Amino acid sequence: MFGPLLPEHLSEFVVGIVLFIIIFIVVRQVVVPRFETMYKERDEEIRGGIDRAEQAQAEAEKALAMYKERLANAEDEAAKIRDAAKVTGQQIQAEMRAKAEEDASRIVTSARTQVEAEKAQAIDSLRKDVGTMATVLAGKILGESLTDDARVRMTVDSFITTLSEDSTLA
């Protein structure tokens, strides 16, 4: 009569309203508080997670700042060590160069001294040998023996002096 949604009997309508009120009260008293509790717990978990994430972010930023500071300190220290090593290397080079120059000078001086000694020894040996040969040769040419040491020495010295003057002129 009045349409498909309207009940035929008024009692059905009253029972429907009573049941609706009972279900509404049960949902409001039991289900809604449980949902509210569950929503609060979830909200607290989410907020706690956000707080923990913010703390972790702050700790990470502190760690990053500390890492950057340590890295800068390490770079400064490395630069200092590198500079010190460079200075030390230059000092070692200078010391080695000075020692090498000193050794070279000592070797040159020693060689000159040795050459002078060998030259004097060679001249002395030459005087004796040339003197002996000159005396023997002069004795053979003159036909007499020249055994007077003073004469022999004077002849040899004169001969070597003449040789030295000839070699310096040439």
List, for residues 63-122, the tens digit of each pLDDT value. Answer: 999 999 999 999 999 999 999 999 999 999 999 999 999 999 999 999 999 998 988 888
Containing domain of residue 145, as a range? 10-169
Residue 4 forms part of a structural domain: no
Residue 100 domain-assigned? yes
pLDDT digits (tens, 9 = 90+) for 47-59: 989 999 999 999 9
Asked whether residue 161 is assigned to any structural domain, the reply reads yes
User: Is 1 inside any structural domain?
Assistant: no
Q: Is residue 84 part of a domain?
A: yes
Checking if the pLDDT of 160 tops 50, the result is yes
**131-157 mean pLDDT:** 68
Q: What is the mean pLDDT of the chain?
A: 85
User: Is 112 among the domain residues?
Assistant: yes
**How many CB atoms are closer than 10 A to CB 116?**
10
- Which residue would you say has higher pLDDT here, 154 or 147? 154
Task: Kindly state whether residue 2 falls inside one of the protein's structural domains.
Answer: no
What's the 3-state SS for 101-169?
Answer: HHHHHHHHHHHHHHHHHHHHHHHHHHHHHHHHHHHHHHHHHHCCCCCCHHHHHHHHHHHHHHHHHHHHH
Domain count, the chain: 1
Q: What is the mean pLDDT of residues 125-139?
A: 74
Q: What is the structure's pLDDT at 1? A: 47
Give me the pLDDT at residue 125, please: 83
